Amino acid sequence: MSISRTLNAYLDHERVHYDVLPHPEAFRALEIAHTLQTPEKEMAKVVIVKVDTRFVMAVLPASWNVDLHRLRTVFASHSVRLATENEITGLFPDCELGAMPPFGNLYGLPVYVDQSLTEEEEIVFQAGTHSDAIRMRYWDFAALVFPVVAEFHRSPAEVW
């Protein structure tokens, strides 16, 4: 399987430059970053959260975790939680489970990007499969997705 059909068609239609980076099958963004010898801070991971009754895509560097307390403030809602695998299954029909690209706009989801990713010249992310990633300029990504930028990460070492 190559990159998702939806993503491939969109990037080609928009004539944006990107590189497809095939890699051995991997299921975690940090693992992909290490395999591709990409800095962890450039490897974007996608986390789907449920805010009240809707799903939202949160995108942040692979080495960080989502801080749900911060997201509750961002969304001004007490009802913010991680989506379950069952909930995610139908949202990305042309992607392998857990390998969705950070283009929520292609799947009807708003996209929130952690501020720390905006500092990178390039980002790398899963392309709809567990064996392909894409590298592109962050600002090309932002121009296509129009994400809301907020700060919602926490270090893996931080304790609640």
Residue of 131, 94, 135 lying closest to 9 (CA atoms): 94
DSSP string, 92-108: -TTS-TT---S-GGGGT
Q: Could you tell me if 65 and 153 are in contact, meaning their C-beta atoms sit under 8 angstroms apart?
A: yes
- Taking only the tens place, the pLDDT of each residue in 125-159 is 999 999 999 999 999 999 999 999 999 988 766 54
Give the architecture-level CATH label for domain 5-154.
Alpha-Beta Complex (3.90)
Weakest-pLDDT range from 44-48, 73-77, 139-143, 151-155: 151-155
The whole-model pTM stands at 0.92
